[in-house]
């Protein structure tokens, strides 16, 4: 099966940071051309908190004495104050968020062989999600005991409470843009992210030991024991302060990454922070306090509610009346309460809640999830001096009150006097714009970018990831020369991240192209395609992120793919990724998995570690091809042919074709291929791969 055909022009590229880069399609772009300047501002999505010179808009949740939401209030039931001054409510509405379809609403797929995962859901786009939740695990400071509790609670939460319409991310403060640090509705990825949560020893206190009776183990000549004790206490204080800053800034960076990624997602979003000692609010360091307030402002402008949970559970902080002094185990009570200051501050300032002294972690997480079912959106016209030069950098306090007795309200408590338009970061250079798109959990969409990947085992120590990239040429700017030639350029940045957020491979290039009349018509119709081959040494989970930029308009788009590189050395039956390609549309390449009824779609994947009964004997494999929509099996197809690759008898390839009939309604689908090895032990006899695609009207 030939997944794509080269276009009418081909130029060899040299100097790329990736070991192999092949450009496919109807056009080839070659280096170099750079641009700079400010990108056009995207409009704010509807329903997001706004802070402008003409409107300040805040969300609020009202509950009764039993914690149930109250949804039938009117504007006159509320009062809003800015810096203690009452404001006139000019905008008011209750936003009801449709509940996602429960697991019971989807048909269960048929039974699968042992060891084969069930078909995953079609990946949700940000605009399709009913609820968007980021769970931030502060593993920089979790104790050994809390790490286990958190891991178990998250597994229960994902298995029983996360629904198909929820978009969820599990983010660790100790990791960067890791392969599993992404928003997804695939519970397999979420469970894999939970399994990566590990206790890591962080030395919070001095390593200088004291003996059991409190005396120093050995005196230093010429220095009294009390002097040595003072030295140790001073060293411990310095170490504690250093840890506090490292912990604070590490947690802040992870939280800021999530908040910025959620900024342009429509609606109200939630961050659930699980931490033992989010020290930002309790710190006396002015720089940390300022950072804390900026985090709150970022959360408020991004319409994110922060819920904080201390997983240490119920603490016994009392001691007997007959004890003149508290026992040693209670010596850190003050530190315990101080560690919760930042947790309470983040929750209160953003309209969430703080849970502590509670052995139940799942319950508060479920409450936070249900809290996203609806909210009041209340706005007022700010006074003329709110955004004046005098108050532009000042912090304005907000207070929203409900006048109905017996009801409780949670809302945001303030904002900086900076309009949203001026507050948003400006990425001026090509590198800044591309990196911002790469770093965003949801990416950018001003340039439509499509991505497909396939793991390929080469028989050597390294594996290869084939990467296909499609860019919609309608989003590119073309300039015409006096002789009628159309010229354009594309900036492309590609990065591969491992599970810990470390970049493994990277590329940053600008490709240019010149096209005659017929070539230009073809590229406008079929787009631009790239093919890359990326060697990856170690097995594991990886995330591929690609950003494309039109230098003339400075529009940017991005896409990402999760891929898991198996360990072929374990000698287990393994399948590569699936490649889809529609007949007659080869120029669009495998990245464009968008078809129409009547299309003939070819598929291909490779098979590794198939058993042979004797040397020279052919493997005995059985394939199964199924198509699912919304978790329902809609079609079972005859499996494709399995054959050996001529130059490598250890690699087999399955190729086949399916025809999309008129009964295939427009929507998102999943193709799953399962291969069973009849010569292998039953518990290692089956392997499965899947790929999503879309059928257009």
Position 248 scores a pLDDT of 56
CA distances from 19 to 15, 102, 493, 512, 570 (A): 9, 45, 14, 20, 27
pLDDT over 70 (residue 577) = yes
Position 549 scores a pLDDT of 95
In the structure, what pLDDT confidence band is assigned to residue 455 with cuts at 50, 70 and 90?
confident
CA distance 453 to 439: 19
Position 535 scores a pLDDT of 83
Tokens describing residue 116: 């084969």
Contact 307, 353 (CB under 8 A): yes
Tokens describing residue 365: 């997480």
Choice between 585 and 539, residue whose per-residue pLDDT is larger: 539
In the structure, what pLDDT confidence band is assigned to residue 378 with cuts at 50, 70 and 90?
very high
Position 124 scores a pLDDT of 67
Which residue is listed with tokens 């006396």? 284
Mean pLDDT of the chain: 76
Contact 559, 450 (CB under 8 A): yes
CA distance 377 to 95: 7
- By CB neighbour count within 10 A (0-12 exposed, 13-18 middle, 19+ buried), where does 222 fall? exposed
Tokens describing residue 402: 């409900």
Phi and psi at 451, nearest 5°, equal -140, 140
pLDDT, one tens digit per residue, over 196-251 is: 887 765 433 322 223 333 333 334 444 455 555 555 455 544 444 444 555 556 67
Position 243 scores a pLDDT of 47
Average pLDDT rounded to a whole number, residues 625-651: 81
Nearest in space to 692 (alpha carbons), one of 565, 561, 599: 561
The DSSP element (H or E) to which 415 belongs, if any, is: strand 414-416
Tokens describing residue 460: 């050597």
Position 208 scores a pLDDT of 24
Position 22 scores a pLDDT of 35
- By CB neighbour count within 10 A (0-12 exposed, 13-18 middle, 19+ buried), where does 644 fall? middle
In the structure, what pLDDT confidence band is assigned to residue 18 with cuts at 50, 70 and 90?
very low
- Give the chain's radius of gyration (CA, Å): 29
Write out the DSSP string of 85-99.
EEE-EEEEEEEEPPP
Please report the sign of the dihedral spanned by the C-alpha atoms of residue 533, residue 12, residue 431, residue 132: negative
Q: Would you call 347 helix, strand, or coil by DSSP?
A: helix
Position 266 scores a pLDDT of 75
Average pLDDT rounded to a whole number, residues 147-152: 90
pLDDT over 60 (residue 392) = no
- In sequence order, which residues have a C-beta less than 8 Å from that of residue 548 and are 6 or more positions away? 447, 449, 469, 471, 490, 491, 492, 556, 557, 558
- Percent pLDDT > 90 in the chain is 20
pLDDT over 50 (residue 161) = yes
Q: Which residues pair with 354 in a beta bridge?
A: 308
Position 460 scores a pLDDT of 62
- Percent pLDDT > 70 in the chain is 72
Tokens describing residue 445: 């969409």
Number of other CB atoms surrounding residue 149 within 10 Å: 17
Structural domains in the chain plus CATH codes: 1-38+432-565 (2.60.40.2550), 47-88+120-209+224-425 (3.40.50.410), 572-697 (2.70.50.60)
Q: Inter-axis angle of helices 144-160 and 187-195, to 10 degrees?
A: 170
Nearest in space to 294 (alpha carbons), one of 393, 384, 386, 390: 393
Tokens describing residue 609: 């570690």
Q: Would you call 677 helix, strand, or coil by DSSP?
A: strand
pLDDT over 70 (residue 371) = yes
Which residue is listed with tokens 């025809």? 659
Contact 364, 355 (CB under 8 A): yes
pLDDT over 60 (residue 686) = yes
- In sequence order, which residues have a C-beta less than 8 Å from that of residue 61 and are 6 or more positions away? 69, 351, 371, 374, 375, 376, 409, 410, 411
**pTM more than 0.85:** no
Instruction: List the single range of 89-98, 166-175, 193-202 with lowest mean pLDDT.
Output: 193-202
Choice between 174 and 134, residue whose per-residue pLDDT is larger: 134
Which residue is listed with tokens 């048909």? 107
pLDDT over 80 (residue 646) = no
Number of other CB atoms surrounding residue 520 within 10 Å: 22
Q: Inter-axis angle of helices 286-301 and 225-262, to 10 degrees?
A: 20
pLDDT over 90 (residue 154) = yes
In the structure, what pLDDT confidence band is assigned to residue 644 with cuts at 50, 70 and 90?
confident
pLDDT, one tens digit per residue, over 412-439 is: 888 888 877 777 777 888 998 998 888 7
Q: Would you call 21 helix, strand, or coil by DSSP?
A: strand
């Amino acid at each position: 099966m030939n997944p794509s055909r080269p276009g009418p022009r081909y130029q060899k590229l040299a100097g790329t940071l990736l070991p192999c880069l092949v450009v496919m399609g109807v056009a080839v772009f070659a280096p170099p051309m750079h641009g700079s300047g400010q990108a056009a501002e995207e409009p704010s999505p509807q329903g997001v908190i706004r802070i402008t010179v003409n409107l300040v808009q805040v969300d609020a949740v009202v509950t009764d004495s039993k914690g149930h939401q109250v949804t039938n209030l009117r504007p006159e039931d509320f009062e809003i104050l800015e810096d203690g001054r009452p404001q006139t409510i000019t905008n008011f509405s209750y936003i009801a968020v449709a509940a996602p379809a429960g697991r019971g609403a989807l048909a269960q797929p048929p039974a699968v062989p042992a060891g084969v995962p069930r078909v995953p859901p079609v990946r949700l786009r940000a605009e399709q999600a009913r609820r968007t939740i980021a769970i931030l695990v502060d593993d920089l400071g979790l104790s050994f005991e809390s790490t286990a509790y958190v891991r178990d609670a998250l597994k229960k939460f994902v298995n029983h409470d996360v629904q198909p319409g929820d978009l969820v991310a599990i983010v660790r403060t100790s990791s960067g843009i890791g392969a599993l640090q992404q928003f997804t509705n695939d519970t397999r990825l979420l469970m894999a992210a939970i399994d990566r949560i590990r206790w890591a020893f962080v030395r919070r206190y001095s390593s200088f030991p004291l003996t059991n009776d409190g005396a120093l183990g050995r005196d230093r000549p010429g220095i009294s024991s009390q002097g040595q004790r003072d030295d140790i206490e001073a060293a411990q204080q310095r170490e504690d302060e250093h840890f506090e800053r490292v912990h604070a800034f590490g947690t802040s960076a992870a939280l800021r990454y999530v908040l910025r990624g959620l900024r342009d997602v429509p609606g109200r979003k939630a961050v659930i922070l699980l931490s033992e000692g989010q020290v930002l609010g309790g710190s006396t360091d002015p720089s940390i306090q300022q950072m804390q307030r900026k985090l709150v402002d970022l959360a408020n402008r991004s319409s994110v509610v922060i819920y904080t949970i201390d997983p240490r559970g119920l603490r016994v902080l009392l001691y007997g009346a007959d004890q003149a002094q508290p026992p040693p185990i209670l010596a850190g009570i003050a530190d315990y309460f101080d560690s919760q200051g930042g947790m309470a501050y983040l929750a209160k300032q953003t309209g969430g809640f703080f849970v502590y002294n509670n052995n139940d972690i799942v319950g508060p997480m479920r409450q936070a999830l249900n809290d996203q079912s609806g909210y009041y959106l209340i706005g007022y016209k700010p006074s003329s001096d709110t955004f004046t030069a005098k108050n532009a950098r000042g912090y304005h306090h907000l207070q929203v009150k409900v006048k109905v007795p017996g009801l409780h309200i949670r809302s945001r408590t303030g904002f900086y006097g900076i309009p949203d338009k001026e507050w948003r970061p400006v990425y001026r250079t090509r590198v800044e714009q591309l990196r911002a798109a790469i770093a965003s959990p949801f990416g950018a969409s001003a340039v439509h970018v499509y991505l497909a990947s396939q793991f390929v085992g080469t028989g050597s120590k390294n594996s290869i990831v084939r990467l296909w990239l499609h860019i919609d040429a309608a989003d590119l700017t073309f300039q015409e020369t006096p002789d009628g030639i159309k010229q354009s350029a594309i900036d492309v940045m590609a990065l591969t991240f491992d599970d810990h957020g470390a970049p493994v491979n990277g590329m940053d290039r600008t490709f240019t192209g010149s096209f005659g009349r017929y070539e230009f018509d073809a590229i406008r119709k079929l787009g631009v395609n790239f093919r890359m081959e990326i060697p990856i040494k170690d097995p594991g989970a990886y995330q591929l992120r690609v950003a494309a930029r039109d230098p003339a308009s400075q529009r940017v788009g991005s896409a990402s793919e999760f891929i898991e590189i198996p360990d072929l050395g374990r000698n287990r039956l393994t399948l590569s990724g699936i490649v889809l390609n529609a007949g007659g549309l080869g120029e669009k390449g495998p990245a464009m998995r968008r078809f129409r009824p009547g299309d003939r779609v070819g598929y291909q994947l490779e098979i590794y570690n198939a058993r042979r009964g004797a040397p020279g004997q052919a493997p005995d494999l059985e394939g199964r091809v199924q198509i699912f929509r919304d978790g329902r099996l809609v079609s079972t197809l005859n499996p494709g042919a399995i054959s050996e690759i001529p130059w490598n008898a250890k690699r087999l390839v399955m190729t086949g074709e399916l025809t999309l009939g008129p009964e295939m309604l427009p929507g998102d689908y999943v193709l799953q291929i399962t291969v069973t090895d009849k010569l292998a032990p039953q518990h290692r006899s089956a392997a499965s791969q899947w790929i999503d695609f879309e059928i257009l009207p």
